[in-house]
Structure 1
């Protein structure tokens, strides 16, 4: 006995459907992700979290996640190996009401420093990891004001530089007195002058090491602040990069005591200078460090008032050029020596003339432009909120930068910086329930840890199995993480077949074995599916989309017709079966010089005898995300047994 299942769409009037896709890339366009996939794995929270923070040391297998009233230690290789540290709100002598949302986890001196809101009375704890099979333990607690915000919604950042902790967080419960400080450690507390910033939102801080010149090491601070220019044409916010010297201990007792003597700030611009059009809302920053500090690169994510996002790239060398040579905004006298902002061994000995410029004129006249200057590196209509950047050595021994961009809808876009424009390798949907709260890259293990309100996802960046059908598909992916070898598409090894710059598959023909695999008139052999269909009934054929950069067509009796895209499938719709509709159909995809047969069908005429018919009301489970169509009466499924 054979069983045939037919899905017929019965419409009032003409057979016509228009598919309106709301959440899938458009076929044949290279400015969208080439591959779309889902990753539903990860550690799920029992209760949704309003805020999460992750500490992940790539030298260890341990990851610490802070939520509301707890810190969890996870083994990244074993999701069942979990240890939970309760951190309820505490008062000076007794428990009090209110949540303790963990906001800071940093490796500081001899332990992990864990700080939380503690019912609007910030508190910090020391967490000692297990040593010599001893039990992990949390010891002494102390006041966390100036390290943790009072509520998780208040702006804050933190960074540990050797034996010192730096933080930007409000000193007052109403969110006021927000500034960047050295807050704890061996060097001594230093803070900002109250006039240096206006309603700031701190984004990130990064320490750039200079192995051969430790005295001149600096900490760069990225933030946005309210624009002092209130004219109608001025943008309300300005994005900034500031710097302070690591050795800065503040000024002498009579002037700028315990206040930065090296603080300077400059405008960070991203956009189209020739049109005076800028993305001014700095959203996130990721710094790619280099052994030679001048080659350290800053990737900055901006949003705009016209609902677009952009990525601009800056070099620390260019930033330093501005800080070392620009005039000081509003200062018209001769620049004193040493130049304001200069790092010196004893900042308390700086002359008053130098300190006065730092106090009264910390802003530089020149702007910091991106390396491409005339335009951002990447512009998108996606609402990106987080960025990380990995460096990968490809099979050609060249280093490539991979941008990992998180959208507000729980997706991660993987983009390679190669050639004249960015190439969007893939899109991975991690969560449909919440937006990304935090993101950490482990470059050694090639994984991305992403925190949501409902779970922690650990993403494998080397998903080479997604392109494992042939050498051509492995090369077309232009993924520096993957190359074609005798074992298939695998994590990159030197000598593997790969073409990151332009994805041309001619490199595959260097091997006779590869030539046989991808040739065959450049079409792969696929199994043909046979359907028996009655005359006069509507019918459709479906073809899976395995690359959104490809163009798909249906071929039948020497005639080609475009596919109708529906999410991850291409459809061919037949309003009513007639004699000329029977025969063989091929779904063909073409991407650059590579053409393949994705699916094959054979439609045969079937004479209905005693069909068993049941009517199913239309639901999105049958045909999901159809934008609009002529009035749909029903979806009829005929099950015919013979």
Structure 2
């Protein structure tokens, strides 16, 4: 018999553990991820030799090679295996302290990999040549990195290469000032911005939008936030902008605007509720999803607000271009000169003064840029603190193409969200790190992998996580994961002819629900995941007891049915749905079943049989069983659960 004092200690411990669980558990509901996955199961991880304050990623998709820059080093990594192929040491100043070289820029430039770093407050760039034959890795010092890399890694920086030209934004001064977007190196003329065009900018992203049928009219779009020129009390202190410059822009003539953009225009990028004049103005990240027709390309922009919400707004490139082509110029009241300011021309040095003067003094468009795709509200608003964004286009087994948003939270989690018209569905949440937030994130659409860098390690996450939905055809379809489909091999990465439908499980039939062509090991795995949790317990009258049902979908509704009795909803605790019995009565015995119900599909998840202990033989007192020795661990936990539940 367990002493009473020990029983109290165990009860108290169970009570406190229960209270801890309750504070860190997702709730059932459509605004939550459907599944919660643990990053510990991801096989491809790379530990850093030491925690990094800052990391930068660059992906060569054509070669399936990833470059990772940290403090004093660049790693060349095979994307498929996470194997470090080469290590470049880049410490040109000192070995420790503030003089270390934090790599901030990695680009493929001309015939080599172009790497820049802080270099002990003296920004420097290098060209890296990989091993060729018996020749070892070679580092060739290039030139001063001012304007490409910041002096300190915490300062703003942006870089982009376009057909052998390097575009960059980084402070020109040690204090972080003189920040502007420039064409810094390459075959074309170096050009920069006019000082009055922006005010205390923070550059977020830049993208080259190709026009296959009109190469001379191709533009580079820059997304940034800057200080609002409107100083009224009700105005937001910061506003988000999109700007554009022409790829062929060579600057003005020697007499006017020499080496200065002649095509620079900017417009206010709006995300929010126009009718309520409520806007998200702090731009965090941008992902451009390119299409064959440039006008169909989409811009996904991630914003945050002063009321602790984040939002994703979606814009078409056609809408962005229309604002620049048709809007009036803010503050300009004269006739619009010809050619129109901002027009791409082969010889920008020959543009007339009238056109250049409008660009110089009135580069902002009067019209604000709203989303025509979702005009009344942001596409997606969330209470999660998202920090980074990527978007993948997936051709699913149902012959439709879907966009999948990959959103990083400030707590080291990745949300995989399905775009369904004007709705979003959070397919899953993958918890990658308990120690830090995401530093860098890059998508390999070709490989269907998401590469996520933290201070302590790098994860290469396979986007098709189909094995998590392998219990049945219905479970595979209910996941609404376009990377996955059900066929005779179970739930596998999208295969043409597999069953998948984002709206209904009606595609599943009894004959198709059971995989019948698997090898023996795979059959055992599928049977194990399909098995219903079943157990029997012998419990005395008058004691507390609970039954647990595992939650495998946080979008399902779970109910308990007492066979021959009542049906009741469950009480969620942790990853379990519980049925609580404060004290067993004669009517409490019998069979209990837990069912999940989701989008018209009902599944038996758990089943229990509760029976009364046999009456002791009065002729043999030694056979009497103390109450707390019958399933005593379950009884103690049940008491703790009941106490915690009642306490809430």
Answer whether TM exceeds 0.5 for this pair.
yes
Between 1 and 2, higher relative CO (CA 8 Å, sep ≥ 6) is seen in 1
Matching residue of 2:61: 58
1: CA distance, partners of 2:630 / 2:568 = 31
Aligned 8 A contact 2:539 2:630 in 1 = no
Equivalent residues in 2 for 1:67-146 (5 A)? 67-90=70-93, 98-132=99-133, 134-146=135-147
Structure 1 partner of 2:620: none
Bigger proportion of residues as helix: 2
Residues 515 and 594 of structure 1: CA distance in aligned 2, closer, same or farther (over 3 Å): farther
Decide whether the 8 Å contact of 2:219 with 2:244 is kept in 1. Answer: yes
Superposition deviation, residue 18 in structure 1: 8.1
Establish whether residue 536 from structure 1 lines up as the match of residue 548 from structure 2: no
Would the aligned equivalents of 1:508 and 1:515 in 2 still touch at CA under 8 Å?
Answer: no
The question of whether the paired residues in 1 share the 8 Å contact of 2:11 and 2:640 is answered with no
What's the counterpart of residue 385 of structure 2?
383
Cα shift at 1:629: 6.5
Match of 1:593 in 2: 600
Distance 1:150 1:563 in 2: 57
Q: Which runs of 5+ in 2 are unaligned?
A: 1-6, 517-529, 615-623
Secondary structure at the residue paired with 1:580?
helix
Q: 1:383 to 1:573 in 2, by over 3 A?
A: same
Cα distance in 2 for residues equivalent to 1:280 and 1:21: 35
1:116-138, Cα deviation, whole Å (9 max, x unpaired): 11111111111112234643222
Aligned-residue RMSD, C-alpha: 2.9
CA change 1:134–1:539 in 2 (3 A) is: farther
**Correspondence list, 1:141-156, <5 A:** 141-156=142-157
Matching residue of 1:605: 612
Residues 417/8 of structure 1: CA separation in 2 closer, same or farther (3 Å cut):
farther
CA-CA distance at 1:273 after TM superposition: 1.0
Give the structure 1 partner of residue 35 of structure 2.
Answer: 35
8 Å CA contact 2:109–2:164 kept in 1: the answer is yes
Asked if the contact 1:215/1:343 (under 8 Å) is kept, the reply is yes
Pair 1:490-2:492 in alignment? yes
Tell me, in whole angstroms, the C-alpha distance in 1 between the residues paired with 2:96 and 2:420: 56
Specify which of 441, 446, 449 is matched with residue 447 of structure 1.
449
Are 2:282 and 2:305, in contact at CA under 8 Å, matched by a contact in 1?
yes
- Write the mapping of 1:623-642 to structure 2, written as runs, cut at 5 A: 630=647
1:78 to 1:11, Cα distance in 2 relative to 1, 3 A: closer
Structure 2 match to 1:550: 556
Structure 2 vs 1, CA of residues 596 and 149 (structure 1 numbering), >3 Å: closer, same or farther? same
C-alpha separation in 1, matches of 2:484 and 2:515: 21
State how many pairs are aligned. 608
Farther off after superposition, 527-536 or 270-279: 527-536
SS at match of 2:104: strand
Contact 1:251 1:260 in 2 (8 A): yes
TM-score normalised by structure 2 residue count:
0.88
- In the alignment, structure 1 residue 44 sits paired with structure 2 residue 50: no
Counterpart check, 1:582 vs 2:583: no
How many angstroms apart in 1 are the aligned matches of 2:576 and 2:102?
Answer: 44
Identify if the C-alpha distance between structure 1 residues 354 and 22 changes in structure 2 by more than 3 Å, giving closer, same or farther. farther
CA–CA distance in structure 2, aligned partners of residues 499 and 572 of structure 1: 33
Deviation digits for residues 532-591 of structure 1 (CA, Å, limit 9, x no counterpart) = 334433222221111111001122233122211122111222223333333222111110
State whether residues 19 and 566 of structure 1, in contact with CA within 8 Å, keep that contact through their aligned partners in structure 2. Answer: no
- 1:266-307 Cα deviation digits (max 9, x unpaired): 000011111111111111000011121111110001111111
Deviation at 1:212, TM superposition (A): 1.4
Displacement of 1:340 in angstroms is 0.3
- What is the Cα deviation at residue 428 of structure 1? 0.8
Shift in alpha-carbon separation, 1:599–1:127, aligned structure 2, 3 A? same
Q: 1:393 to 1:386 in 2, by over 3 A?
A: same
Mapping of residues 562-581 of structure 1, within 5 Å: 562-581=569-588
Q: Structure 1 length as normaliser, TM-score?
A: 0.89
The Cα of 1:515 is off from its aligned counterpart by: 9.0
C-alpha deviation, 1:23, in angstroms: 3.9
Q: 1:11 to 1:108 in 2, by over 3 A?
A: closer
> Structure 1: where are the runs of 5+ without partners?
1-5, 518-523, 632-642
State the 1:349 CA deviation.
Answer: 0.5
CA distance in 2: counterparts of 1:515 and 1:487, whole angstroms: 9
Q: Which residue of 1 aligns with 2:419?
A: 417
CA distance in structure 2 between the aligned counterparts of 1:7 and 1:587, rounded to whole angstroms? 31
Contact 1:67 1:102 in 2 (8 A): yes
CA contact (8 A) 1:89 1:97 kept: no
After the TM superposition, which of the residue ranges 63-72 and 172-181 deviates more from structure 2? 63-72
